[in-house]
Chains A and B, each alone.
Chain A
Amino acid sequence: MAELFVEPGKVVRARELAQKAARGVQSFIDRHSTVAIERTVLRLLGIGGAGARGAPLANLLVDKLRDAKVLHKGAAWWMGRALKASPGRDPLQAIERIAARPEKLPPLTPAEDAELRETIRADARAAARELRDKIEKRKELKRSLQVGSFPGAPWKYVIVATGNIHDDVEQARAAAQQGADVIAVIRSTAQSLLDYVPHGPTTEGYGGTYATQENFRIMREALDEVSRQLGRYVHLTNYSSGLCMPEIAYMAAAERLDMLLNDAMYGILFRDINMQRTFCDQYFSRRICAFAEIIINTGEDNYITTADADEAAHTVIASQLVNEGFAHLAGMPEELIGFGHSFEIDPAREDTLLREFAMAMMVRELFPRSPIKYMPPTKHKEGDIFFSHAYDVMSDLVAISTRQGIQLLGMMTEAMHNPFLMDRYVALKAASYVYRAARHLGDEISFKPDGIVARRQREVFDKALALLEEVAKDGMMAAIGKARFGDTARTETGGKGLDGVFERAPDYFNPFLEILESDRRAEGASGRAPLGGEGQA
C-alpha cells in the first residue's frame, strides 16, 4: 500500500535542503580526525589487544601520540615511523619510545616518507582484503538460507540484555527458535560514554551487555549455528553510537554483524556527545559500514520518545533526510540505510492508528529502497503487560501492512525491566500471527486522497520542509544549538569528547580512509559506494 500524499516537488526540495545541510558539515569532517578514528586505524592495522590492566592498546598508543601533540599526522604514519625506528620491536614499545621524544627523531627524506606510507598502505590493503573475506563469508551464509518469515515481512527484531554474554546467547537462541530474525544485544548502560571499547568476553553489565569484539564473536558464532539449524538467517546488531562509533563499526565488520545503530546526530542529542566529535566519527564509521555492507539503523525513533510524537513528527522526517544526506556523503547506498521511526502517539488519543499509518507510509515511500526500521511504542508504556501486548499488536499491524523493513517487537516491559523470555515469546507469537493474518492487507486498501491520513502527511511534511529550510540556512550546528531536533539544544563546543577532535595536518596519513573513500577519489565528492547493498527486496 504505502501511499504518499505529498507533492513530489516538495520532496525534491526537502532532499536538496537536507543534502545542503549535510554538505555544510562535510567540509569540517574532511579537515578533522578524532582519537576514535585513529584508534580504529590502529585496530585495522592489527593493534587489537589490551594492556596489562585491560586498557586497549589502541587507546594507549593514541593517547601517547596525542599527549606528544603529534597525532594530527595520523596514527598510521606514527606506526610506520615507529616500526622504521625500531624494527622488530613490538608496536607499543616502539611508539612509546618515539612518542616520548618525537622531536629527537631524525627527519625523513621525501623518498623515505613515501616509502613508509607505501609500506603501511600495503598493510592496510591486506587488512581490508581480510575484512572483505569475512564479509563475503557472512553474505554467503545469508544467501544460502531463508531470510525473514516470508518475502515482504518485516524482520522481527528482539533484544537481549542480560549483562552476561553467555546468558545472552541462551536467550538469543531461544528467540531465534521462536521466530526472531534479528538479535540486538543491548549495551551496558552508559557504554556510549566510554572513550574506549572494553576488551574480551564480559559477564557483568548494567541494563545490558558490554559491546566488545569478543562478545560480538561469541554471539555471531551462536547465531550462525542456530541459523543453519533453522534454515533461516538470524541477523545480529549492536550499537555504533557514542564515543566509539568507528571502532564498533570496525569490530562489527570483523565479526560479521549485519546491522548497527548508527545515527549522525543521536549521540549529540541524547548522549550529549560533542557534535564535532560525532560528525567526524559518524562519517568514518559509515564509511566502514558502506565497505562492510552493514545496514545502519538511524535513531529518529528517539526524537519522539523525548518530544511529543504527534507534535514532533516532522523532526523525524527532517532528520531522516539529513541522515540520508550524511549517509550518501559516506558512500552508503539506499539499501543499507535503515531509517528509524516509531509508533509512539499517546494511546489515550483518538485515531492514533490513522496517524501512525500516515507516518509509516510516508517514511516507507520517501525511502522506497531502504529497509525502514520501525520501533514499537515505549514512551507511553506503563507496566500493564496485558495492555502492552495489545498496544504492540497495533504496531505490528501497521508494520506489516505498510511494509516496514525491520520491526523491533514490543518493549513489553518498558519502564519495568528487560524483557523476560516469556515476554519475547508472546511478542514473537503475536507478530507472527499479525503478519500472517494481514499479509496482503496493504495491497488491498488505499486511503482517501483528502482524508485524515493524507492531510496528516501533508501537514507533517510541510513542517519538515520548513524546518529543513531553516537548517539549510543556519547550518546543522546552529540548528542543533536551537533545539530543532529532539527538543534538545547542544552547542558546538559543549558535550563530551571534544578533546578527542583534532585538525588534520596537511600531510595527515590515513591509509584506510584512502581505501574507504576510493569512490570519492574516483568520482569526486559525494559519490556512491561501488558496492551493492543487501537490503531486503
Chain B
Amino acid sequence: MSEKQLIRPYGDRKDDGVVQLSFVLPVPVSEKAKEAAAQVAKKLGLSHVLVASMEAAGEDYSFFVVYGRTHLQLDYGAIEVPVVAHRKHPFDELNDVIERDIGRKIVVVGACIGTDSHTTGIDAIMNMKGYAGDYGLERYRMFRAINLGSQVEPHALVEKAREVEADAVLVSKVVTQRDVHKEDARTLVDAARQARIFDKTIWIFGGPRVDHKTALELGFDAGFGPGTKPSDVANYIYYRLLERQGRAPAPQPTAHGTPDATIQGAEKP
C-alpha cells in the first residue's frame, strides 16, 4: 500500500476543486432557467457556482456553461487499475527475439465482430501501414496477420482462428450502444470455448470504449483502448506467448544491445 496522495481538481490554484460543465435543460431561456442550471450544479455538490453562459439552443432548450468547485478529494495512491504492462522491443529487435524464442511466425487473426463496420481500429493495428508511424502487424517478418475486416460473425472468427491455429485473436468493437460490444464479446468467448480453442489462444479486445479492466471481466487476456500502437500489441502477444509457455524470459542483452524484458503485467484482477 502506497502513501496517501490526496488530490483534487485543479483550475487556477492547487486544490481549488474547479470543474467546468456544459449541459442542456429542456426549458426555454429565462432567469428561472438560469437558476435551475445553478441548482443542477449545486446538487452535484459544487459550490461557488457560476453560470457563465446561457443560450437558447432552439426554442425549448437552454444551453449552459457552468463553473463550480467541488470539495471532494481522493487518495490517488489507493486507486488500482490493471494495465497491460510489458517491456517493448523496437521493430527489428522484436522480430529477432520472436525468431529466437518462438522459432516460427506468430499467427494473429483480427476482425470487427457483429454488426460493426468500423475497421479503423483493427486496420490501424493489423495493416502494413500501421498507425501514427508505427508499423502494423502485417509488416512484421515474424507475424502472420490475417485481417478478416468488418461485420464478422463471432463463430466465423472462431472458425478461422481454429483453421489457421491462431496464437492470438484481435477483436475490435467501435459501436457500443446498449453494450452491444459486451454482448458480442461474450458470444465470441462462448464460441471459442465450444470450439476448444479458448484456453490455447490469446484473446485481445480493442476499441475506443474498451479498457483493460472490461476486457478482463469479459474473459479476454487484454484490452487496448484508444492510442494503442501496433507495436504495443505485437510486444504484448510475444510476452504473453512466452509466459503461457512457462518461459518468461530471463533478462539478457539482445543483439541490439538493449536489455531484454521480463513480462510484468496482464495479471488478472
> Which A residues have a C-beta under 8 Å from some C-beta of B?
163, 173-178, 189-190, 193, 206-207, 270-272, 305-306, 308, 348, 379, 382-383, 415-416, 420-422, 424-426, 429, 487-488
- When distances are taken between beta carbons in the complex, the residues of chain B under 8 Å from A426 are 63
Identify 8 residue pairs between A and B in the complex whose beta-carbon atoms are under 8 Å apart, listed by A's number.
Answer: A174-B57, A176-B58, A270-B117, A416-B208, A420-B24, A421-B24, A422-B24, A487-B123
- B129 touches A (CB below 8 Å): yes
Bound Cα distance from A447 to B67, whole angstroms? 44
- B172 touches A (CB below 8 Å): no
B43-75 interface code vs A (CB 8 A; 1 in, 0 out): 000000000000101111101000000000000
- When distances are taken between beta carbons in the complex, the residues of chain A under 8 Å from B123 are 306, 487
Are B178 and A271 in contact, with the CB atoms below 8 A? no
B60: contacting residue among A174, A270, A306, A379, CB under 8 A? A174
Are B115 and A189 in contact, with the CB atoms below 8 A? yes
Bound Cα distance from A190 to B184, whole angstroms? 14
- When distances are taken between beta carbons in the complex, the residues of chain B under 8 Å from A488 are 149
Bound Cα distance from A207 to B226, whole angstroms? 20
Are A178 and B117 in contact, with the CB atoms below 8 A? no
Are B208 and A207 in contact, with the CB atoms below 8 A? no
Are A207 and B177 in contact, with the CB atoms below 8 A? yes
A425: contacting residue among B24, B150, B151, CB under 8 A? B24
Bound Cα distance from A209 to B117, whole angstroms? 17
- When distances are taken between beta carbons in the complex, the residues of chain A under 8 Å from B22 are 422
Closest to B121 in A: A415
Are B57 and A206 in contact, with the CB atoms below 8 A? no
- When distances are taken between beta carbons in the complex, the residues of chain A under 8 Å from B150 are 270, 272
Are A421 and B175 in contact, with the CB atoms below 8 A? no
Question: With contacts A422-B57, A487-B123 known, what are 13 further pairs, Cβ within 8 A?
Answer: A174-B59, A189-B175, A190-B117, A271-B117, A306-B120, A382-B226, A382-B227, A415-B208, A415-B226, A422-B22, A422-B63, A425-B57, A426-B63
B61, B127, B174: most-surrounded residue (chain A CB, <10 A): B61
- When distances are taken between beta carbons in the complex, the residues of chain B under 8 Å from A193 are 115, 151
Are A379 and B120 in contact, with the CB atoms below 8 A? yes
- Interface residue ranges of B125-162 to A (CB < 8 Å): 127, 129, 132, 149-151
- When distances are taken between beta carbons in the complex, the residues of chain A under 8 Å from B149 are 272, 488
Are A175 and B151 in contact, with the CB atoms below 8 A? no
- B197 touches A (CB below 8 Å): no
A305: contacting residue among B59, B120, B180, B227, CB under 8 A? B120
Closest to B20 in A: A386
Distance from B124 Cβ to chain A, minimum over Cβ atoms (Å): 10
Distance from B225 Cβ to chain A, minimum over Cβ atoms (Å): 10
- When distances are taken between beta carbons in the complex, the residues of chain A under 8 Å from B208 are 383, 415-416
B151: contacting residue among A272, A416, A487, CB under 8 A? A272
B180: contacting residue among A173, A206, A271, A348, CB under 8 A? A206
Are A206 and B63 in contact, with the CB atoms below 8 A? no
- When distances are taken between beta carbons in the complex, the residues of chain B under 8 Å from A175 are 58
Say whether chain A's binding surface is mostly helix, strand, loop, or mixed. Answer: loop
- When distances are taken between beta carbons in the complex, the residues of chain B under 8 Å from A348 are 132
Bound Cα distance from A416 to B207, whole angstroms? 11
Bound Cα distance from A207 to B174, whole angstroms? 11
Bound Cα distance from A281 to B119, whole angstroms? 25
Say whether chain B's binding surface is mostly helix, strand, loop, or mixed. Answer: loop
Are B226 and A178 in contact, with the CB atoms below 8 A? no
Are A421 and B57 in contact, with the CB atoms below 8 A? yes
Distance from A238 Cβ to chain B, minimum over Cβ atoms (Å): 18
* Known A382-B226, A383-B208; contact A308-B129, beta-carbon cutoff 8 A: yes
Bound Cα distance from A328 to B63, whole angstroms? 45
Are A178 and B177 in contact, with the CB atoms below 8 A? no
A190: contacting residue among B115, B127, B129, B178, CB under 8 A? B115
- Interface residue ranges of B160-218 to A (CB < 8 Å): 174-175, 177-178, 180, 208-209
Closest to A420 in B: B24
Distance from B157 Cβ to chain A, minimum over Cβ atoms (Å): 15
- When distances are taken between beta carbons in the complex, the residues of chain B under 8 Å from A308 are 129
Bound Cα distance from A429 to B123, whole angstroms? 35
Bound Cα distance from A255 to B226, whole angstroms? 41
- When distances are taken between beta carbons in the complex, the residues of chain A under 8 Å from B55 are 425, 429
- Interface residue ranges of B22-36 to A (CB < 8 Å): 22-24
- When distances are taken between beta carbons in the complex, the residues of chain B under 8 Å from A305 are 120
- When distances are taken between beta carbons in the complex, the residues of chain B under 8 Å from A415 are 174, 208, 226
The 3 lowest CB-CB distance pairs between A and B, nearest first, are: A174-B58, A190-B115, A425-B57
- When distances are taken between beta carbons in the complex, the residues of chain A under 8 Å from B180 are 189, 206
Distance from A274 Cβ to chain B, minimum over Cβ atoms (Å): 14
Are B63 and A421 in contact, with the CB atoms below 8 A? yes
Are B58 and A178 in contact, with the CB atoms below 8 A? yes
* Known A190-B151, A272-B151, A425-B55; contact A174-B61, beta-carbon cutoff 8 A: yes
Distance from B239 Cβ to chain A, minimum over Cβ atoms (Å): 27
Bound Cα distance from A421 to B61, whole angstroms? 9
B57, B120, B127, B180: most-surrounded residue (chain A CB, <10 A): B57
- When distances are taken between beta carbons in the complex, the residues of chain B under 8 Å from A207 are 175, 177
Are A306 and B119 in contact, with the CB atoms below 8 A? yes
Bound Cα distance from A163 to B175, whole angstroms? 14
- When distances are taken between beta carbons in the complex, the residues of chain A under 8 Å from B174 are 415
* Known A271-B117, A415-B226, A420-B24; contact A173-B177, beta-carbon cutoff 8 A: no
B58: contacting residue among A173, A270, A487, CB under 8 A? A173
- When distances are taken between beta carbons in the complex, the residues of chain B under 8 Å from A190 are 115, 117, 151
B23, B115, B116, B175: most-surrounded residue (chain A CB, <10 A): B115
Bound Cα distance from A487 to B177, whole angstroms? 27
- When distances are taken between beta carbons in the complex, the residues of chain A under 8 Å from B116 are 189
Bound Cα distance from A487 to B126, whole angstroms? 13
Bound Cα distance from A305 to B150, whole angstroms? 14
* Known A189-B115, A421-B63; contact A206-B24, beta-carbon cutoff 8 A: no
Closest to B209 in A: A416
Distance from B226 Cβ to chain A, minimum over Cβ atoms (Å): 6
- When distances are taken between beta carbons in the complex, the residues of chain B under 8 Å from A206 are 115, 175, 177-178, 180
Closest to B152 in A: A272
Bound Cα distance from A65 to B132, whole angstroms? 53
Bound Cα distance from A425 to B59, whole angstroms? 12
- When distances are taken between beta carbons in the complex, the residues of chain B under 8 Å from A424 are 57
Are B115 and A178 in contact, with the CB atoms below 8 A? no
Are B117 and A425 in contact, with the CB atoms below 8 A? no
Bound Cα distance from A189 to B174, whole angstroms? 11
Bound Cα distance from A452 to B162, whole angstroms? 51
- When distances are taken between beta carbons in the complex, the residues of chain B under 8 Å from A382 are 226-227
